[in-house]
Amino acid sequence: MQASVPELTDLSKEPPRLLEICTGLTGATAYPSSFRIGSFPILSFDYRTDEHFRADLCYYATSPARGIRFTDRATSLELTGEVPHVVEDGRWHHAVVNMKELIDASTTEYSGTMYSAEKLILADFGHLANVPGVTMNVDNFELTPAVSTANGLTLSWTAADLSGITGYSYHWSAKPADEADGISEGPEGKADFKDVPEGAQYLHLRAQDGAGNWSATRHFRFLIDNTPPKLKAASPAKGEGSASETVSVQFDDPVAGVDPARLSLSVGGRRCY
């Protein structure tokens, strides 16, 4: 007799992994909703392709359309960077792209919409170079959220099994494939986490059913940034007057960086941004 094991079905902070074929385009919609790249800076996915398939990643379709080079040699997108170390040998490979770092490196003019993503589309843009019969396989699209645990981070999850769920085991580490142990932390599908180390960290999570069976461990990646940004420079400086219409500020935040959409600026006690 083979016992069933519980299946973890959801984690509240993780964006859904969806794939939808784009009508009329050689490509697919990897993520159909708008999101802030400042809040979800890292994209990862698995792919298998040979040297014949042409496609790039578009994250902002409004003119000028912006994106990231993948395998296309001629594109109509305004490129902010490229997927690193692409291998086109017909085998499965894993790609990790820090989209926010690419955007930061491609411009010195910051705006409140620079990290806006309307959706994620993997397609052939501009000159359509794909011929009938060529294929590309993609899987496991994942957006990594940037979060802080300095004041606590609440995560919730669910699991399902015919005998019910009696407990969960979980822990954090910087290793992507660590196994959660067989000691239950309790039956509640929710926990508060505080002071998780900064950087890329993984929550390793498994569930136990009413018969004592443990599920396989699921691994959820987060970018942890517990340190507030620090003001590095400002013009005009503190106590100085200026007739200029421009106020410039520079922040130091080495982990997740600063998203201009989350900044507020007050001059003379009045908020102006």
Q: What is the pLDDT of residue 174?
A: 97
Q: What is the pLDDT of residue 15?
A: 43
The three-class DSSP label of residue 265 is: coil
- Asked if pLDDT for residue 14 goes beyond 50, the answer is no
CB atoms within 10 A of CB 116: 17
> Would you call 203 exposed, middle or buried from its count of C-beta atoms within 10 A (0-12, 13-18, 19+)?
buried
Could you say which DSSP state residue 226 is in? -
pLDDT digits (tens, 9 = 90+) for 206-258: 999 999 999 999 999 999 999 888 888 878 887 787 777 777 777 777 788 87
Q: What is the pTM of this model?
A: 0.80
CA within 13 Å, CB half, 78: 11
- Tokens in use for 4? 């069933």
The CA-atom distances, in angstroms, between 80 and each of 16, 67, 125, 244, 253 are 25, 6, 15, 31, 21
Residues 78-106, mean pLDDT to the nearest whole number: 92
Q: How far apart are CA 150 and CA 216, in angstroms?
A: 30
Residues 70-77, mean pLDDT to the nearest whole number: 83
- The mean pLDDT of the chain is 83
Q: What is the pLDDT of residue 191?
A: 94
Dihedral angle, C-alpha 116, 121, 124, 125, nearest 10 °:
-30
Please report which confidence band the pLDDT of residue 19 belongs to, taking 50, 70 and 90 as the band edges.
very low
pLDDT digits (tens, 9 = 90+) for 135-181: 888 888 899 999 999 999 999 999 999 999 999 999 999 999 999 99
- Tokens in use for 83? 């997927």
